[in-house]
């Protein structure tokens, strides 16, 4: 009986010590890190709930902490989609661009090119701003249409190329008309002429620019003639004033 009691005491002491370690671990040791799979599933759950900020956080953590995980590549693409769906056009464009550079032969590249183009197209602020984003969008759509003509995105890519061209032409027209209204006919003429030489595929802008080009040319000649006349008369007046 004594041996049984002693064994019980020893087992109780051992259990107490193990329990104590568990309590110490609970309060003083950092919690276990989420696994790559857990982060991926949490990100997908947040996306389904349209909580794109949280989803982006999960996918970023997965990408940074588990770069060699089988979930990492999908997380990179999902991160770009989070930005796109949240209408964060700049980060979306950069994320799709990064994905393409890291995985150029991935099966989702047509999807990536399309959404990279759309990110730049949607992110263009206004017609009076430089068209760098629109030119970049056009290049993505053009590459998509040329390299992946049979994909579901190719038709939309061609349509969006036309949209990009129209925006570029409208940008030139905006400044041509602005200079014309300001009486800066030489600058206006250059803008109209550029449209005529480069945007015949945008007929509504092209035809308007042809008319305005002729008008700006006439007005610029008049302005030059008037300037020369005033310069001559000014020199004569200066001579008579000296006398």
Taking every pair of C-alpha atoms in the chain, what is the biggest distance, in angstroms? 142
Q: Which CA distances in Å does 103 have to 47, 84, 145, 191? A: 23, 19, 19, 41
First to last CA, the chain: 142
Angle between the N-to-C axes of helices 36-48 and 52-65, in degrees from 0 to 180, rounded to the nearest 10: 160
Looking at residue 22, its pLDDT comes to 45
Per-residue pLDDT of the chain (243 residues), as tens digits, is 444 434 433 444 434 444 444 444 444 444 556 899 999 999 999 999 999 999 999 999 999 999 999 999 999 999 999 999 999 999 999 999 999 999 999 999 999 999 999 999 999 999 999 999 999 999 999 999 999 998 999 999 999 999 999 999 999 999 999 999 999 999 999 999 999 999 999 999 999 999 999 999 998 888 666 666 656 555 545 544 555
Q: What is the pTM (predicted TM-score) of this model?
A: 0.78
| pLDDT at residue number 16 | 42
Q: What is the pLDDT of residue 220?
A: 81
State both tokens at 200: 């015949």
What pLDDT does 104 receive?
A: 97
Q: 162 and 155 in contact (C-beta within 8 Å)?
A: no
pLDDT for 237: 52
- Each domain of the chain, given as residue ranges in start order, spans 35-86
Q: Is 51 left (phi over 0), alpha (psi -120 to 50) or beta?
A: beta
Structure tokens at 128: 């009076």
């Amino acid at each position: 009986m004594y041996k049984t009691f002693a064994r019980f005491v020893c087992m109780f002491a051992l259990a107490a010590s193990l329990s104590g370690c568990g309590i110490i671990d609970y309060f003083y040791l950092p919690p276990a890190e989420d696994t790559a799979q857990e982060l991926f599933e949490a990100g997908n759950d947040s996306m389904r709930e349209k909580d794109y900020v949280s989803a982006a956080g999960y996918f970023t953590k997965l990408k940074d902490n588990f770069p060699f995980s089988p979930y990492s590549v999908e997380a990179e693409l999902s991160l770009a989609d989070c930005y796109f769906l949240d209408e964060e056009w700049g980060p979306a464009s950069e994320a799709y661009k990064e994905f393409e550079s890291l995985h150029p032969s991935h099966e989702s590249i047509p999807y990536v090119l399309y959404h990279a183009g759309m990110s730049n197209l949607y992110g263009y602020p206004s017609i009076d701003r430089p068209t760098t984003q629109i030119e970049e969008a056009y290049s993505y759509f053009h590459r998509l249409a040329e390299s992946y003509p049979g994909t579901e995105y190719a038709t939309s890519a061609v349509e969006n190329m036309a949209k990009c061209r129209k925006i570029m032409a409208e940008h030139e027209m905006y400044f041509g008309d602005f200079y014309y209204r300001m009486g800066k006919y030489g600058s206006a003429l250059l803008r109209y002429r550029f449209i005529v030489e480069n945007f015949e595929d945008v007929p509504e802008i092209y035809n308007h620019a042809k008319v305005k080009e002729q008008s700006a040319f006439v007005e610029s000649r008049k302005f030059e003639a008037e300037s020369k006349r005033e310069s001559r008369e000014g020199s004569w007046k200066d001579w008579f004033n000296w006398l």
